[in-house]
Amino acid sequence: MLAVRGVAKAFGPTKALSDASLAVRSGEVVALLGENGSGKSTLVKVLSGVVRPDAGELVLDGRPVRPGSPRDTLRAGIVTVYQEILVAPDLTVLDNLWLGSAAFTERSERARRRARAREVLDVLSPDPIALDGPVSALDLMQQQVCVIAQALLRDPRLLVLDEATSTLDVTLRDRLMAEVRRRCDEGAAALFISHRMDEVLAHADRFVALRGGVTVGELPRSGADAETLVRLVSGEEATAQRRSTRRGGHGLQRTVLEVSQLRIQPSSEPLDGIVRAGEIIGLAGLEGHGQDEFLQCLAGLRRPAAGEVVLRTGPHGAGTTVRNYRQAVRAGMAYVPRNRKTEGIAGVLSNLDNFTAPTLRRDARLGLLGRARRAARYRRFAEFVNLTAPPGKAVVHLSGGNQQKVIVSRWLAREPSVLLLNDPTRGVDLRTKQELYGVLERLADQGTTIVMLSTEVEELIGLMDRVLVFHGGSCAAVLDRSEATRERLVSAYFGHGSGATGSEEVR
């Protein structure tokens, strides 16, 4: 019914998709699997018309589809439920359900619109949802039901569910999947993306895996189990990895960071742990499973639901409980945020200005800035991170890698004892990545504690002393350097902390 062939899409220098192909037959539920950054969500965006592909073709029911906008693909019969809950909060439930469809403005259709909306909502949700209240008065789960109902009301030929069930409870999920199955039996089809392995196994007829923007394989339902799927997603070939040459033995070093009974959300499992000076800790997990929130708790940017974070950076291991960001910074913490453009840099300023912004005081004597002092300090750190761009250049004109170097060196200039990084190698070219790894290792050797969120399996395996894998808002697995293999990591991503190999310690 739907055939996708050789779709490619690049965002700037990053290739999100290079050769993605997919076929979905009428009556079928296909699961699309892949790690973070494998191109899943880009492929969904291509199918839904949000993103225009650079190459490749889409054929629906024998006719080529040229998606220019969601409007086009919706008219063609491809209806997508997105990962985010996209509703117009100020409109009523009824208006949201019919928004953008052809019947939206027909006044004569009014009664039919109400009846159909009622019908679909009742199929999905056992609790009635009022049609005339604003969507903003509903809770997240009900809003998600509205989004799904909107999709079902369009009678899709192909229904694309991108993590659409994440906020639904078990009852609603079962109702939805039963409805999807019913529609498929009537000749529609569904493409299904989920981070829950059990769900994927229970509902899909076929599995297609993406890796690095390429379709790497598929499996029929028969013969597929969690283990084979993980292998399909992660790839069996042992990639030639860069293994850290550092000695891991920091066992005698003092404790720098202590986490006790920390819960990110009220529902998450409590986490205890210590991090010593000179350790590099990786935080991993599929997008949105709690690793980001955990890092923000460490930085004092977010309050945990319970428990505390203590920075033992004072003399003789005196501790500071992290209450807010300012105080954490004063205690020797530095945080490199994820989104360079919005959180990290002041684009129009030169990279010298960007570098000095948080540490300006160190260049001042009697409140006056010393230009030479500033330049000397900049040179020292630029050398350390191997930044060659001229100091006077506006940061926006630098490459992503160089921007990242400016930001990292800026925080290094504070000489932190704990450095937190939120996915620092995202959108950075390969060479700079390697350079950054080198910088981090040298820092760790000098005794800096590094906690780094990463979405790249390679660097989690190659760089970290330990990796904490998050699933469903809790730390689901802790892998030591010796245990961290690609397969185990991916398996832990999908909540199979002990399933695939059965030897990790799961907290």
Partner 1 sequence: MTAAVAVPRRRAVGLRMPRSPLAVVVVVTACLLVANLVVTPGFLAPDRLPGTAELFVPLALAAMASVPSILSGGGGLDLSVGPLLGIVNIVAVAILMPAGLVAAEVSIPLCVLLGAAVGAINGAVVAFVRLQPIVVTLGTYLVLDGLALVLMPQPVGTAPPWAAWLSGSWLGGFAPRSLLLLVAGCLLWVLARRLGFVTLVRAVGSDARAAFTSGVRVGLVRFGAYALGGALAGLAGLALTVLINSGDATVGPQYTLAAVAAVALGGNALSGGRGGIAGPLLGALTLFLIQSLLSALAVSSLWIQVVHGSVLLAAVCINSSIGARVGRRAAAIQGG
Query: If you ran DSSP here, which 8-state letter would residue 254 be given?
Result: P
CB-based contacts of 507, cutoff 8 Å, min separation 6: 269, 271, 272, 475, 477, 478
Site for partner 1 in 413-472 (CB under 8 A): none
Q: By CB under 8 A, what part of segment 22-51 binds partner 1?
A: 48, 50
Q: Which is nearer to partner 1, 288 or 499 (CB)?
A: 288
* Residue type at 483 in one-letter notation: E
Q: Is 169 exposed, middle or buried (0-12, 13-18, 19+ CB in 10 A)?
A: exposed
Q: Check binding of 506 to partner 1 (CB under 8 A).
A: no
CA atoms of 112 and 101, how far apart (whole Å)? 14
Q: Which of residues 50-79 bind partner 1 (CB under 8 A)?
A: 50, 69-71, 74-75
> Could you tell me if 462 and 488 are in contact, meaning their C-beta atoms sit under 8 angstroms apart?
no
Which of 38, 42, 80, 425 is the binder for partner 1 (CB under 8 A)? 80
- Measured from the CB atom, the residue of 75 and 507 that comes closer to partner 1 is 75
Smallest distance from partner 1 to CB 107, Å: 7
Interacting stretch for partner 1, rule CB under 8 A, among 13-21, 80-88, 198-206, 489-497? 80-88
> Rounded to the nearest whole angstrom, what is the least distance from the CB of residue 454 to partner 1 in the complex?
28
Written as one string, the DSSP assignment of 448-463 is -EEEEE---HHHHHHH
Contact 314, 256 (CB under 8 A): no
Question: 93 vs 219, which CB is nearer to partner 1?
Answer: 93
Local structure of 189: helix, strand or coil: strand
- Assess 82 for contact with partner 1 (CB under 8 A): yes
What binding mask, one character per residue, do residues 113-132 give for partner 1 by CB under 8 A, x or -?
-------------xxxxx-x
Residues numbered 146 to 165 that lie near partner 1 (CB under 8 A) are 150
The least CB distance from residue 133 to partner 1, in Å, is: 3
- Helix-strand-coil percent breakdown of the chain, rounded to 5? 35, 25, 40
Of positions 63, 107, 326, 365, contacts partner 1 by CB under 8 A:
107
User: Does 169 sit near partner 1 (CB under 8 A)?
Assistant: no
> Looking at 83-91, 288-296, 299-307, 308-316, which segment touches partner 1 (CB under 8 A)?
83-91
Q: Which of 271, 278, 289 is nearest to 478 (CA)?
A: 271
Between 61 and 127, CB nearer to partner 1: 127
**Contact region with partner 1 (CB under 8 A), list: 104-112, 218-226, 266-274, 498-506:** 104-112
**CB of 89 or CB of 220, closer to partner 1:** 89
Q: Which amino acid is at 64?
A: P
Strands 368-369 and 364-365: antiparallel
What is the total count of residues that contact partner 1 (CB under 8 A)?
Answer: 36
Task: In whole angstroms, give the CA distance from residue 372 to residue 383.
Answer: 16
Using CB under 8 A, which residues numbered 84 to 103 contact partner 1?
Answer: 86-91, 95-96, 99-101
The CA distances from residue 444 to 383, 408, 413, in Å, are 17, 14, 15
Cβ-proximal residues to 73 (8 Å cutoff; 6+ apart), any chain: 47, 48, 49, 65, 67, 80
Interface residues toward partner 1, by CB under 8 A: 48, 50, 69-71, 74-75, 80, 82, 86-91, 95-96, 99-101, 104-105, 107, 126-130, 132-134, 136-139, 150
